[in-house]
Chains A and B, each alone.
Chain A
């Protein structure tokens, strides 16, 4: 079965500092990978996605992520964090093509706090 692990439940960084959120996945084929962001009480917004090709993908709000097949990882990065980046971040993988299930599997999320 596919799974997604976000090892950091909560991260605090200072405004202007760099950020890296970790995501590891278990998947039997070439995955589709996603990062979403959620502000409190809101829905999820797509930050970026990887389907194939260049393993470094650029997203919105200055975020990027790198797909590393050898490490089964898809870590999210930002060179300089802004206070408005405080939110919860979810990594997702999917779909399971061999079962026909096209839904994504989500990690448990990483809550980011930004200190002034």
Chain B
């Protein structure tokens, strides 16, 4: 089955820790995206990548980092510089028509 997988489903972080969220797709899409979702705020774009080895900051990139070494993978690292990381994180990918397909999400909680 083609689709997007995110892991883990739930993640807990201690203060000062960096954590990495995984996103993998087998849809052969060039573009991939990371969104953050908070209650009542919809989806906000963190980073996006339109091609391997290239990525761009979105609207709320501070405290986050990404890499795009393979077409299938777009991991997101939440660094200790992100002051309020508790949120639901969604990964998506798209083909050239911009129809985005979403993964099931990772819920990150800071302890």
Residues 29-47 of B, flagged 1 when their CB comes within 8 A of A and 0 if not, give: 0010101000011110100
Residues 35-50 of A, flagged 1 when their CB comes within 8 A of B and 0 if not, give: 0100001111110010
Docked complex Cα distance between A41 and B6 (Å): 13
Main secondary structure on chain B at its contact with chain A?
strand
- Interface residue tally on B, bucketed by range: 20 to 34
Task: List residues of chain A with CB within 8 A of the CB of B101.
Answer: 46
Residues 49-91 of A, flagged 1 when their CB comes within 8 A of B and 0 if not, give: 1010000000000000000000000000000000000000010
By the criterion CB–CB under 8 Å, are B98 and A106 in contact? no
Residues 18-29 of B, flagged 1 when their CB comes within 8 A of A and 0 if not, give: 000000000000
- The answer to the question of B85 belonging to the interface, with a C-beta cut-off of 8 Å to chain A, is no
Question: Which residue of chain A has the shortest Cβ distance to B3 in the bound complex?
Answer: A43
By the criterion CB–CB under 8 Å, are B105 and A104 in contact? no
By the criterion CB–CB under 8 Å, are A106 and B102 in contact? no
Q: Contact partner of A102 among B40, B50, B90, B105, CB < 8 A?
A: B50
The distance from the CB of B52 to the nearest CB of chain A, in whole angstroms, is: 15
Task: List residues of chain B with CB within 8 A of the CB of A51.
Answer: 97
- Beyond A43-B90, A43-B105, is A104–B98 a contact (Cβ under 8 Å)? yes
Interface size on A, residues (CB 8 A): 25
- Beyond A44-B90, A103-B33, is A108–B42 a contact (Cβ under 8 Å)? yes
Q: Contact partner of B99 among A49, A90, A106, A108, CB < 8 A?
A: A49
Q: Which 7 A-B pairs have the closest CB atoms?
A: A43-B102, A108-B42, A44-B102, A106-B43, A106-B42, A43-B104, A103-B48
19 new A-B contacts at CB < 8 Å, known A32-B98, A44-B102: A41-B105, A42-B105, A43-B6, A43-B90, A43-B103, A44-B90, A44-B100, A45-B102, A49-B99, A90-B42, A92-B100, A101-B56, A102-B94, A103-B48, A106-B42, A106-B43, A108-B41, A108-B42, A109-B40
